[in-house]
Amino acid sequence: MKTTYDEAVKLFKMKRWDSALATFQEAETSTFNAEQKAELAYYFGLCYTKLERFNDALVYLEQFVSDDKRSLRSCQCRLTLAYIYMNTKRPKMAEFELEHLLKSGFKSAQIYTMLGFAAWTQNQEKEAIERYEKALELDLNNSTALNSLGYILVETGKDIPRGLELCKRAVEKHPGSAVYMDSLGWAYYKSGELVEARTWLRRALSIAPRQREISGHMKALVDKAS
């Protein structure tokens, strides 16, 4: 016989996060054993994350990884914790979760790109570059690593030609991304190619007109061209 809990799991798999969460809350779970309670925490944590209720998500995800330390679900939850900590401006906490995954034998381009971003937000340029390079060693076509490493090389002036090429490759992978268009436009700006810079920054602004970093790059371009 299908239970309310089963229905909640079904709604979760259908990505109906609000409905899944409400149904989990209605389910009879008083007789759940430890394993079932851990699974419930897993679903609550991911539902809250999808709904961007990050403080609620943290409670359940931390509970799950404390109870289940080695499964693939635990790996997923630690990645999610890192994502939440980055979004709530706690990069050191994000690094803790990601480093734990590496020490446990989980290595992926995604982990290294997140570590790269955590380092960059803390003004650790060298560490950020090293981590994005490692991500590309694992996945040569990882668009996040291509864009992020390209932007850093351009922004810091360490290798503008290579940075420009990496940004081009990121846009080729995801031609509709305003973030990648912005990076490419900024790379052209740093290369002194102002016409190309204007083209790509305009395209980025048309997609994300309220994105402050893109607006800032366009202002810098306009000021230099005037």
pLDDT digits (tens, 9 = 90+) for 101-114: 999 888 999 999 99
Does residue 80 belong to any structural domain of this protein? yes
Does residue 94 belong to any structural domain of this protein? yes
Does residue 224 belong to any structural domain of this protein? no
Does residue 34 belong to any structural domain of this protein? yes
At 78, list the tokens. 């630690």
Question: CA-CA distance, 92 to 82, in Å (whole number)?
Answer: 9
Vertex 116 angle, CA 111 and 118, to 5°: 95
User: Is the predicted pLDDT of residue 14 greater than 90, yes or no?
Assistant: yes
Whole-number pLDDT of residue 71: 77
Whole-number pLDDT of residue 226: 77
Other C-beta atoms lying within 10 Å of the C-beta of residue 105: 8
Confidence class of residue 121 from pLDDT cuts 50, 70 and 90? Answer: very high
Does residue 38 belong to any structural domain of this protein? yes
Whole-number pLDDT of residue 222: 95
pLDDT (mean) for 7-31: 95
Whole-number pLDDT of residue 117: 97
Whole-number pLDDT of residue 69: 60
pLDDT, one tens digit per residue, over 153-186 is: 999 999 999 999 999 999 999 999 999 999 999 9
Confidence class of residue 70 from pLDDT cuts 50, 70 and 90? Answer: low
Question: CA-CA distance, 114 to 117, in Å (whole number)?
Answer: 5
Does residue 96 belong to any structural domain of this protein? yes
> Which CATH number do you get for residue 94?
1.25.40.10
Other C-beta atoms lying within 10 Å of the C-beta of residue 6: 12
pTM of the entire predicted model? 0.89
Structural domain for 56, as ranges: 1-106
Lowest mean pLDDT among 22-26, 32-36, 156-160, 191-195: 32-36
Mean pLDDT of the chain: 94
Number of domains in the chain: 1
Question: CA-CA distance, 197 to 181, in Å (whole number)?
Answer: 10
Does residue 42 belong to any structural domain of this protein? yes
Does residue 188 belong to any structural domain of this protein? no
